């Protein structure tokens, strides 16, 4: 089905949509349908484009999806999908010729011949479902960090991307920064000597964690225990593969990150950024063991208020075994040994230290894009090595170039983003199991705790199952 309109109304252009679309979204949330407007016709979408532009679909067009729309500026935006039409209103107004959907499954089926590539900016628990469906159709894929909600899904994403020969990129944007790549080159050139110890920290969480389900709390005064579902939100589609539960604003649209059913906590939110540079520079690969120490007692519903995760990595070729410590809490870590390692540097809210036999690299950024080499006197005249890594045209641009036949993006799923995400999410498994985990990466299993299996590969709500890639 084609369409020629697509205009939206409302008192505040770009922020609201017409009453007609509100009513359509309300019907959709009740299961009455899956799409609002059909997209451009196949004949138009597949015409030869003298600009060699991609036909891109945006899954999760509100919120973070705005970044993807900006990154794909200059390409053809042919479809927009979001379970909350109000959050996607600005994108809909800016792209009036794009098809609008609330269910990515319907969008991919109906627009499959019109789409070259997709971006996925949904909550963590639906990353794999949207991405894998698209890639199995041969669509190039850009997915936000963390790549997936579970370790098994990260392995599947890598396998599906490789088997379908699609161009991929995870949204850990620092990977494309020249400062991060230079930090990697400095470490790999041996400036620090042998690095056996890494410390990475974040000031997250900045949302509520270590709390229970809100619908179990008593109502106060006239406030209902279960607020009504917003008329523009298709709640059942937002839940997707997660277990069924009543709607509450405590989950959607922002604080889902702290809830195990939907998000991956502070570790999942930030480690693909802040752990990224040392993971790449030291070629860490898969750990052999992971341990988590919680700042608060384990809550089965939400991630803790603070945690220290210790990853043990084996020797890798000429590189020695390495221990990486991850700290998550609202204030920077104040461990006394870190004060000595920083050598007088005031710790940032997020940052990292790579401790070598010849020196230490301290970065006060989330991505390792800036650095101080310590002791300062020893590195006063230090000159970085000649570049050995290519410089990027930009994170989305690097992926778009790969989609058009250029070299693979650096944070592609099979070679980098998948293994990094597996490592990151193992920390959450250790938090939930409550003991040291011995990890067999080849077989994707914890060898010393049977209870870990349920967190390595989660169960899905009926109708949302994911078939394993072979």
Residue 348 φ/ψ, nearest 5 degrees: -80, 170
Domain spanning 176-207+263-389+413-456, CATH class: alpha beta
pLDDT of 318: 96
> Residues 234, 120, 466, 253: is their CA dihedral positive or negative?
negative
Report pLDDT for 23: 44
Full-model pTM? 0.90
pLDDT reported for residue 394:
97
- Exposure string over 207-224, b if 16+ CB within 10 A, otherwise e: bebbeebbeeeeeeeeee
Q: What tokens were used for 62?
A: 């509100």
- Contacts of 4-8 with CB under 8 Å at 24 or more apart are 5/37, 5/96, 6/37, 6/92, 6/95, 6/96, 6/97, 6/98, 6/100, 7/96, 8/89, 8/92, 8/93, 8/96
Burial of 310 (0-12, 13-18, 19+ CB in 10 A): middle
Neighbours of 420 (CB within 10 A): 26
- Picking from 396, 395, 414, 432, the residue whose alpha carbon sits closest to that of residue 150 is 432
Q: In this structure, what token pair is assigned to residue 195? A: 């690095």
Q: Which one-letter DSSP state was computed for residue 97?
A: T
pLDDT of the residue at 344: 73
d(CA 84, CA 429): 31
d(CA 468, CA 470): 6
Q: Rounded CA gap, 344 and 347, in Å?
A: 9
Report DSSP state, residue 86.
T
Residue 285 has what pLDDT?
Answer: 98
Q: What is the mean pLDDT of each run of 10 residues along the chain (470 residues)?
A: 29 38 42 45 48 94 94 96 95 96 98 97 98 98 98 98 98 98 98 97 91 73 73 97 94 93 97 98 98 93 95 98 93 66 77 95 93 94 97 98 98 98 98 97 97 98 95
């Amino acid at each position: 089905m084609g369409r020629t309109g697509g205009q939206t109304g409302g008192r505040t252009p770009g922020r609201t949509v017409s009453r007609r679309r509100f009513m359509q979204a309300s019907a959709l949330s009740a299961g009455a349908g899956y799409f609002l407007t059909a997209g451009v016709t196949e004949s138009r979408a597949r015409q030869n484009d003298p600009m060699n532009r991609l036909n891109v679909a945006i899954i999760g067009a509100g919120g973070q999806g705005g970044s993807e729309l900006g990154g794909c500026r200059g390409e053809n935006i042919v479809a927009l999908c979001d379970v909350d039409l109000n959050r996607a209103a600005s994108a809909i107004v800016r792209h009036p010729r794009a098809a609008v959907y609330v269910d990515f499954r319907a969008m991919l089926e109906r627009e499959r011949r019109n789409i070259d590539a997709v971006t996925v900016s949904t909550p963590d628990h639906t990353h794999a479902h949207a991405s894998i469906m698209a890639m199995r159709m041969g669509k190039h894929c850009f997915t936000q960090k963390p790549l997936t909600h579970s370790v098994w899904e990260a392995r599947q994403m890598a396998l599906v991307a490789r088997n379908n020969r699609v161009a991929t990129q995870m949204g850990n944007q620092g990977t494309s920064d020249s400062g991060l790549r230079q930090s990697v080159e400095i470490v790999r050139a041996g400036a620090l000597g042998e690095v056996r110890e890494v410390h990475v920290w974040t000031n997250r969480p900045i949302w509520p964690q270590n709390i229970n389900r809100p619908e179990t709390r008593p109502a106060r005064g006239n406030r209902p225990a279960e607020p009504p579902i917003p008329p523009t939100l298709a709640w059942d589609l937002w839940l997707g593969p997660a277990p069924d539960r009543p709607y509450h604003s405590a989950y959607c649209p922002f604080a889902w990150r702290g809830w195990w059913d939907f998000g991956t906590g502070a570790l999942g939110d930030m480690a693909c950024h802040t752990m990224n540079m040392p993971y790449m520079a030291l070629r860490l690969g898969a750990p052999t063991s992971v341990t988590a120490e919680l700042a608060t007692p384990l809550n089965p519903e939400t991630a803790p208020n603070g945690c220290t995760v210790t990853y043990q990595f084996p020797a890798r070729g000429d590189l020695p075994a390495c221990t990486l410590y991850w700290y998550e809490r609202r204030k920077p870590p104040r461990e006394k040994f870190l004060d000595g390692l920083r050598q007088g540097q005031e710790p940032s809210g997020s940052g990292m230290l790579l401790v070598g036999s010849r020196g230490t690299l301290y970065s006060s950024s989330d991505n390792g894009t800036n650095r101080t080499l310590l002791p300062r006197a020893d590195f006063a005249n230090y000159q970085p090595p000649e570049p050995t890594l290519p410089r990027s045209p930009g994170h989305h641009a690097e992926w778009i170039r790969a989609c058009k036949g250029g070299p693979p993006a650096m944070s592609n799923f099979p070679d980098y983003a998948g293994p990094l995400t597996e490592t990151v999410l193992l920390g959450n498994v250790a938090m939930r199991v409550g003991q040291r985990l011995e990890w067999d990466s080849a077989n994707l299993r914890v060898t010393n705790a049977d209870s870990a299996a349920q967190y390595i590969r989660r169960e899905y709500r009926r109708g949302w199952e994911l078939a394993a890639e072979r």
